[in-house]
Amino acid sequence: MKTIINNLRMTLSELKPGKLALVQHIETSTETNGLVNRLEGIGIIPNKPIMVLRQAWFGGPLHVRVGSTTEIAIRHQEAKTIHLQPIEV
């Protein structure tokens, strides 16, 4: 049973490793226009479950699982544009 914790809003950059969340929306701005397309292509669209698997050292990228079978490396800077709704399982 998944329950949405409503008043907690965060970005992918803040999500704790091992915790699942749902994508809410991706921030758009003129410079990141191309980025949004790429992220959508990779499967980061509203309501998609997303999870941080681990984080590289020295502020390096996050290892993220999108849905259940797509894994990506993404920098914090880009992760900050992805807004999430945490869920409890």
Are 46 and 25 in contact, with CB atoms under 8 Å apart? yes
- The number of angstroms, rounded, from the C-alpha of 69 to the middle of its chain's C-alpha atoms is 15
At closest approach, how far in Å is the CB of 76 from other proteins?
Answer: 10
Query: Residues of 7-24 as b/e, b for ≥16 C-beta within 10 angstroms?
Result: eeeebbbebeeeebbebe
Q: Which of 12, 26, 39, 84 binds other proteins (CB under 8 A)?
A: 39
Question: Is the CB of 3 or the CB of 7 nearer to other proteins?
Answer: 3
At closest approach, how far in Å is the CB of 86 from other proteins?
Answer: 14
H/E run at residue 39: helix 33-41
54 binds other proteins (CB under 8 A): yes
Site string for other proteins, 6-25 (x = CB under 8 A): --------------x-----
Residues binding other proteins (CB under 8 A): 20, 31-35, 37-43, 45-49, 51, 53-61, 63, 65-75, 77-78
